[in-house]
Structures are given as structure tokens and as C-alpha cells.
Amino acid sequence: MRKKFITVLIPSLIIASILSSCSSKSNINNAAKATKVSSVKDQYITAKSPNKNPKKAVEHKDTFISAISEPGGVFLPYFYDNGWDGNATEPIFPSLVGTDEKGNPIADLAKTWDISSDNLTYTYHLRKDLKFSDGSPLTADDVAFTLTLLDDPSYNGSFDISTCYIKGSDDYKKGSATSISGIQVVDPLTIKITTEKVNPLNLTKLGGQVLSKAYYGKDYQKGKLDYLKALYSKPLGAGPYKLDKYIPGQEIRYKANETYYNGKPKIENLIFKVTSKDTNLQLFETGDVDYDSFSTDKDTVDQIENLGFANIRISTVSDYGYVYMNNKKSYLKDKNVRQALIYGLDRQKIVDVAYKGYGEVATVPTSPLVWSYNTDGVNKYKFDPEKAKKLLDADGWKLNSNGIREKNGQKLKLSYLTSKNTDQTIPVAKENYKALGIDFEPEIMDFNTLVEKLNKGDYDLAAVRTSGLVDPNDSVEEFSSKKASENVTGYYNSKVDDLISEGVSTLNVKKRKVIYQKLYKELSNDPPVILIDYRKSLRAWNSRIKGLDNNNFAGVSSTNLSKLKIEN
């Protein structure tokens, strides 16, 4: 899949292609059978009084303003750590193969594709006359360059192209070949990619976002990718929009791309405005922002509905919230301690306070919308403080005179990183863990600092959300010890490693379901993280923006941005 997105805040900007970058059609067809989240039904509420539009919104005659949280300024696909940067690249960089609102593959830069009968060879047929925003042509050579860049021995991003098993990839990395034999440019509009093993994710993984060879490859030398850092803030793509200006902490401005293959977007200006949960509702009410997500509760729904000019969608989100446990720390290596941290945390209370009936406690590491979702035989870890105490006692953590557990002279003191001022886990964990004899110390910081600490392993516990999930591999591959760049928890379990690999070794959905059921049981018995919640989202947009109501995600993507229009 694309780079793993560490999303601590509920996303303001939901992008359909991120939600479904690793999907396959057979996978999505099974999603309808999955369990719904909470008793609150999905709802779509249309604006009752569009004429009540605020003056500021009406004045934005040719500008669509969508909210975003904390971009970090790395606007280059495959190279960012911050998921908001992934959102920011979406209008600029289209993929060979896109995805619709249900996650099914659809034509984007590639008009068609062929897959061999053995599912090992992928041939993409590009559209004619594709151009980057500077007017230069986009051809199969650019696709080949992008894949080669991802296979460079010095590439250290978390897009793991090795799982595509491209023929000749290893020889290229080791230096015994000057090119990758499995990547064949047939002609300017055709590229053939031969792999050595089956991977059900390969169609969209190999058919991802395309980088310009002339622009990003001008200074390319094998094994030396640092030169790309100078281009992080100067993106060049072939999407519906091109970057105009980035003002850190405030907004990202885009201009419509007149060279876009699907026609210049009808809306000239696109702005991603940085908002927070403290200000977003006010900015939406005044017309400073056209689209955002909000706290999911009945009062907020009623408040937005009463504005009159807003379209509202309440829908199950294909993600889950959880807490990283740093398995590299000596006091978190033992699964007894990790299990105790789950048993001893009243997760139901956290969900009740945070979502007020619009969420439920997570039990397996995937979304209830994903076809592999199955809780049979899985430990639900019902809140049980006494069991937590027994596990800690059994592991040698004894209470000292101050009521704090110690082992071999070390106190059980845990830091907890979050970027949310309103993180409902903090008050619950403080109370619960104090009762267990654990010194719990929350630290609230900006999102990008939190990401840096995670990547350095400088944490004990940290609040995160997954990006949007469609394929079951999306949410479990980070627990594989073979994925060093993604496995920020330092978790190691050889059985889990094997099951994760098995999960992407076949296209047979029935076989994959069995594999993931085994995997969920093993991850339940030896938990790498604390699962917290599944949720519904509340998204609203100004009804003058047409084209956002045609899918359940109500989001913006490179494939639908050019179709949006404004009707004041």
C-alpha cells in the first residue's frame, strides 16, 4: 500500500483513494456483509435552506476551501511520514489506477490494464497525451522511473515495493544489474511489469502515483536520494491542481491545472486551510471553510443542520483508533504487562465520552467494514482491573510504599504521547492506571513532533489512528518484524510474521479470511497495541459545492476534484 499514515486526529480531509489504495474488487464485494458500527445509523442530511449561505462563502465565487489539520510540508508521494502531507499531494499526483467510493479499481492515468492468467504480469496502457503541469509529457518512462526510485537501495520510506516481488528487483538493489528486468517499457504508452510471486494488492500498488523522470530524476544517482529533499516543497505532478503556495501552519493553496487529462477543473482555486477542533465549527459557520469534519455527537449534528446551508453525512469510517505500546522498552516486552494495560483500561468509558453513541470498542485490528472482520475466538479484553493486577503481580511488578509498581528497582512509569488537547483516553487512563500502581504521564504535543518521536522510538505509549482501510493487510503489515520502517512498535512474533505474509500470498478471499482469523487470534493473545475504538464520522460541506455528495465518504480525490463545481 502507500505510505502508512499515522493519523492522531480524526481527519478533516477524507480522500477516497487513500481509503482504498490497496483494495481489490473481490475484497469490496464482501464488505457489505460486515458488521455496522454502533446503533446510530448512517445518515445523509441535505441542506434545508441553501439561501442562508454566509456572506464569506458566497464571496468565494471560484474557490473551494477544505480543512486539513497539520501538514508538514513534504509534498512528495512515497517520501512523507505525515498523513496530512499525503492528503496534500492528492490533488497534484494522480495514480495509474484509481479507486471509486467503494474501493473498486478505476481507470486514472492508465485507461486500461491487463493481468496475466497466472496473476504475475501487469500491463498498464496509459492515456494518450498525458502531461505534467509544466507541459512536459507523462509516459511509461516516468512510471518505470517511479518504480525504480522505490527500489533504490537508499530509499527508506515506508512504501515497501519488495512485497510486489518485481522480477530483477533484488539484483538491482545488490548492484549485479543496472536496471530492473521485470520493468519493461513496451512503448511510450505501455508498461509491462513482471513479478515473481502473487500479491493481491499489486494492481493498485504497482499502479500508484507517478513522478516525473525529467523533474525528479534529473539529479538521480543510484544510492543517493538526498537530493530529493530540495524538491519536497516544489511538487510537479499531473493532477487536477498544482501547488501555488504553502504557508506553514495556515494553508496550502492550489491553482487549477490546465493540462490535466480530464480537463481543467471547474473551480479555479483550491485551498486546504489548517483548522483545529477548537475553531473548525466557527470557521464553517462563518463561511471561512467549505468542508470539514466535526465532533460526532447529536448536539453538533443539530447545530450544523440548523445552519440550513450545510449538507451532512454521518457514516461509518473504515479505520480504528489505538495506542502504540513500545515493545522495545524492557517493561513492555512481556505480554503480561501489555495484556494488563488493556484489561486495566476502561475503553468503553473512553468510547462513550468521545463518541456519545457514535462508536464502539475495537476488538480486532481492522475496520468492521473490511471483509476480513471477524471477532470469533478473539479475547475482547473486557475491563477487569483485578485481572490486570494479577498479571502485573505475576510478572514481578510489586507495589512500593508510594503505591507505584517496581521491578528490579525500576518503577512502572509510562509516558503517553498525543496531539489532542481533548484526548478522552487521558482522564480515564490516569484514574485506571493509578489504581493499578502505574505512573501514567501524558504529553500533549504538535502532530509532527509526535511523528518524529514515534520514528525515533522515543515513547512508551502513543495515541494513533490508522488511515482508511479496505484490504486487511492495510492495518496489520506494520506489526511484521520484516517491515522495519513501518514497525514503530518494535513488535516481534514469528507466527504473526508468517501469517501476515500468508495473507498476501493468494488472491483467494476465502483462504485469506481463514488466515486473517488466525492472525487476529494471535494478535489478541500477544497484543502489540491497545485497540481503542471504531467510530462514525460527521462531515459537512457547504451546499454550494456540488459533487461531494455522490459517495459515502463525501471526500475529495484526484479523480473527482475536476468534477466539483460551485453554484451560489
Instruction: Give per-residue pLDDT as tens, 33-57.
Output: 444 444 677 889 999 999 999 999 9
Q: Which residue has the cell 483467494?
A: 508
pLDDT tens figures, 225-251:
999 999 999 999 999 999 999 999 999
pLDDT tens figures, 492-523:
999 999 999 999 999 899 999 999 999 999 99
User: What does the pLDDT read at residue 39?
Assistant: 61
pLDDT tier, 1 (very low <50, low <70, confident <90, very high otherwise): very low
CA neighbor of 455 nearest in space, from 432, 486, 427: 486
CA neighbor of 86 nearest in space, from 19, 141, 175: 19
- Compute the average pLDDT of residues 269-273: 97
Measuring CA to CA, how many Å separate 205 from each of 4, 67, 132?
A: 13, 27, 21
Locate CATH 3.40.190.10 in the chain: 43-68+239-309+543-566
User: What does the pLDDT read at residue 483?
Assistant: 80
Percent of the chain whose pLDDT exceeds 90: 76
- The residues, ordered by sequence, that sit 6+ positions from 39 with a Cβ below 8 Å of its Cβ are 357
- How would CATH label the architecture of 94-231? Alpha-Beta Complex (3.90)
Measuring CA to CA, how many Å separate 492 from each of 97, 239, 479, 488?
A: 34, 40, 7, 11
∠ CA 534-251-302, rounded to 5°: 45
Provide the mean pLDDT of the chain: 89
* Statement: residue 482 has pLDDT above 90: no
User: What does the pLDDT read at residue 28?
Assistant: 33
Locate CATH 3.90.76.10 in the chain: 94-231
User: What does the pLDDT read at residue 277?
Assistant: 84
* Statement: residue 5 has pLDDT above 70: no
Three-state DSSP at 466 gives coil
* Statement: residue 9 has pLDDT above 60: no
CA neighbor of 222 nearest in space, from 167, 151, 147: 151
- Compute the average pLDDT of residues 362-371: 94
* Statement: residue 551 has pLDDT above 60: no
pLDDT tens figures, 88-137:
999 999 999 987 766 678 999 999 999 999 999 999 999 999 999 999 99
pLDDT tens figures, 370-428:
999 999 999 999 999 999 999 999 999 999 999 999 999 999 999 999 988 789 999 99
pLDDT tens figures, 13-30:
333 333 333 333 333 333
User: What does the pLDDT read at residue 555?
Assistant: 55
Locate CATH 3.10.105.10 in the chain: 317-536
CA distance 426 to 411: 20
pLDDT tens figures, 523-546:
999 999 999 999 998 999 999 999
∠ CA 228-231-233, rounded to 5°: 135
CATH code at 317-536:
3.10.105.10
CA distance 251 to 504: 39
Percent of the chain whose pLDDT exceeds 70: 91
pLDDT tens figures, 52-97:
999 999 999 899 999 998 899 999 999 998 888 988 999 999 999 9
CATH code at 43-68+239-309+543-566:
3.40.190.10
3-state secondary structure 403-437: CCEEECCEECEEEEEECCCCCCHHHHHHHHHHHHC
What's 164's DSSP letter?
Answer: G
